[in-house]
Structure 1
């Protein structure tokens, strides 16, 4: 069902400083910050050639990333994102076998302008999984 690894997301307390590390220390191509108010984050994507790293910074106090950073003040891996050909088919199959889709189960538009869903980390060995339709 899952396809290519789309990205690994890392929550960071300072997006500008984190992006500079990837650009200046690792020589990576770093995209422009993108505010996603509906998700409560500002993101920057780092192109690694075969995948991406997504840096996430809280956007507002109600951001889910703010709660993550309260528990992990220096930041850390937040989720991994896999591509799926049909997000509704993938969600239905996962629910059918007992996996939990977060929220109300309705896909939302993600940072790439495509439908996304998140799966409960307790169902995937403590890792939050994002599915993105391609």
Structure 2
């Protein structure tokens, strides 16, 4: 298994609309996608594009704003501990999600739940923060064109 690029940083928020305003007005973001619901994962999602090293927006690492979809959202627990929101997870790309899952399992890392389809329309899984230097870590298969929020 080979580590791929940092695709996005997940930021939990109690309000996507307020977070969009922050990224637009305070941080000067210009590439902000329309929010969309992922009820099967219990979240509402919005991607904020950052520029790459040449300054081209939409080619750098993304910020994934995640808001609870309903009272059963897994984000609710995080927001109970962090009412203003904050960094929730890091997401790295891999070419083969099945091989990556086997790799991490072989290293004794705890995988949280089954592999499922994430916000970019590609397979993902999460690794327990206690096994990943205290960081909830998402592993995702490299997105193809025309996926939600793909670069």
Q: What residue is the counterpart of 2:32 in the other structure?
A: 30
How far has the Cα of 1:73 moved from its partner? 0.5
RMSD, aligned α-carbons: 0.8
Map of 1:2-17 to 2, 5 A cutoff? Answer: 2-17=3-18
Aligned length: 132
Q: What residue is the counterpart of 2:94 in the other structure?
A: 84
Q: Any stretches of 5+ residues in structure 2 without a counterpart?
A: 52-59, 143-151
Q: What residue is the counterpart of 2:85 in the other structure?
A: 75
Separation of aligned partners in 2, 1:53 and 1:87: 21
| SS of alignment partner, residue 91 of structure 1 | helix
1:102 pairs with 2:105: no
Separation of aligned partners in 2, 1:77 and 1:86: 26
| SS of alignment partner, residue 46 of structure 2 | strand
| SS of alignment partner, residue 80 of structure 1 | strand
Q: Provide runs of 4+ in structure 1 moved above 2 Å.
A: none
**What TM-score do the two structures reach when normalised by structure 2?**
0.85
| SS of alignment partner, residue 61 of structure 1 | coil
How far has the Cα of 1:9 moved from its partner? 0.6
Q: Any stretches of 5+ residues in structure 1 without a counterpart?
A: none
Separation of aligned partners in 2, 1:22 and 1:39: 24
How far has the Cα of 1:31 moved from its partner? 0.8
